[in-house]
Amino acid sequence: MQKRARITSKGQITIPREIRRLLGVRPGDGLLFEGDGSEMRVRPARQKSPFANYRGIGNPGIPSGKKAIVRRIRELRGR
């Protein structure tokens, strides 16, 4: 697939809809540009998990995992 994009005076480009869909990117997502001298590749810049930044904020002081959460709930209920 080949598509063209024009660079603005600010160095910005509009990525064609077909390319955005193919890459699975949406507004606010990042792109990673990788080059090896003779060619350039573009791919989505994804974290390992989209929830990685939020892991652990819902249960401060409680270890992660189902067993630890169940144990804490039982303590709160007095069992």
We report the CATH number of the domain holding residue 35 as 2.10.260.10
Domain housing 37: 1-49
Which tokens go with 65? 């995992």
The structural domain count of the chain equals 1
Residue stretches of the chain with pLDDT short of 70: 47, 50, 55-60
H-helix segments, the chain: 17-23, 66-77
pTM for the predicted model, two decimal places: 0.52
Q: Does a structural domain hold residue 76?
A: no
Look at residue 2 and tell me if it is in a domain.
yes
**40 lies in some domain:** yes
Q: Which pLDDT tens digit goes with each residue over 27-39?
A: 988 999 999 989 9
Query: What pLDDT score was predicted for residue 31?
Result: 92
Query: Is 44 within the bounds of a domain?
Result: yes
The reply to whether 57 falls in a domain is: no
DSSP H/E element including 68: helix 66-77
